A and B are shown apart, each in its own frame.
Chain A
Amino acid sequence: MDKKIKYICPICRWTPAEYEPIHDWEHCPNCLSSIHEQDEDGNECGGIYEPVGIWVIDDSRWEIIQRCAWCGAMKSTPLHGDDNPLVVLSVASKPLANPPFPVEKTEELTRIMGGKGDIGGYYT
């Protein structure tokens, strides 16, 4: 097996099937992670860049925000067409599953701090 042709993810061991086209992936399309090769000073880090968030620039351009689990450095890579949509949605829904304040009181809290906003509907 030629290493240059086959891609094996060092984190989840995913590899493209025979018929799938080979790309030069910046992150693994299956687990959206990659390896932090070098930090700012040029030293080797070797930590795992984990996907922590999705940055929506506009409807057609999304970027995956990655954070090194070892040193805390952050970077963003563009979302690729073959990225696993389930994993993307699971990363995006993590904050919603764990809100830091009671969601049902969002409007009330916003009014208290003097901000404006409306969730819509009859939930007042």
Chain B
Amino acid sequence: MNRENKKRKYDKKYFMKHPCTDSFTCKVCGWPVVSNGAGSNHRNHCPNCLSSIHLDNKPGDRSSECHGVMEPIGVWVRTGGEWAVIHRCRICGKIVSNRVAADDNPMKLMALAMKPFGSERISQKSINKLTISMEG
């Protein structure tokens, strides 16, 4: 690493151009997370509990002062058929979407997607009523 690159490494916005390869321990579930195996250069959330920490305002700039826990609240399908996890910060309420990584817990992802179907708000009974009224 030459002097120019070394200087840039300590720049706050270094990760906007370079991938962060540090391994870390998840602050929510304690899972030891390494950067490789994600299928992408940018590890964003814990592969076990899918939670993340609010560090960035724009991807990679590390400029957020919030540092709250970003909990996964849902998944959605991007154009192209890829899933993305929707994160919401517990402290400031910011909502962002992040691509799923290759080694994310499939059970947790499925549980997130199935959540609306296990709730009473639109229950099986009301769906039954809906179909009967639509049959005429």
Q: Which residues of A contact B (CB under 8 A)?
A: 52-56, 59-60, 62, 65, 67, 74-76, 79, 85-86, 88-89, 92-96, 98-101, 103, 106-107, 109-110, 113-117
Contacts and interface: CB of A to CB of B under 8 A. Distances in A.
10 contacts: A52-B76, A65-B95, A79-B121, A88-B122, A89-B116, A94-B77, A95-B83, A106-B110, A109-B106, A115-B108
B68 interface: no
A59 B113 contact: no
Nearest to B107: A117
Contacts of B47: 113
Main secondary structure of the interface of A (DSSP, over half): mixed
A96 B113 contact: yes
Contacts, number: 100
Given A54-B116, A88-B122, A74 B96 contact: yes
B115 interface: yes
Interface string B69-97: 00001111100011100101000000111
Nearest to A88: B122
Interface string B96-118: 11001001011111110111110
Contacts of A114: 48
Interface residues of B, number: 36
B126 interface: yes
A65 B105 contact: no
Nearest to A66: B95
A101 to B, nearest CB: 5
A65 B130 contact: no
A26 to B, nearest CB: 15
Contact of B130 (A56, A60, A86, A109): A86
Contacts of B22: none
Given A75-B95, A94-B77, A53 B121 contact: no
B21 to A, nearest CB: 20
B81 A106 contact: no
Contacts of A100: 81-83, 100, 109
Nearest to B94: A74
A114 B49 CA distance: 12
Nearest to A94: B77
Contacts of B75: 53, 95
Contact of A76 (B95, B113, B121, B130): B95
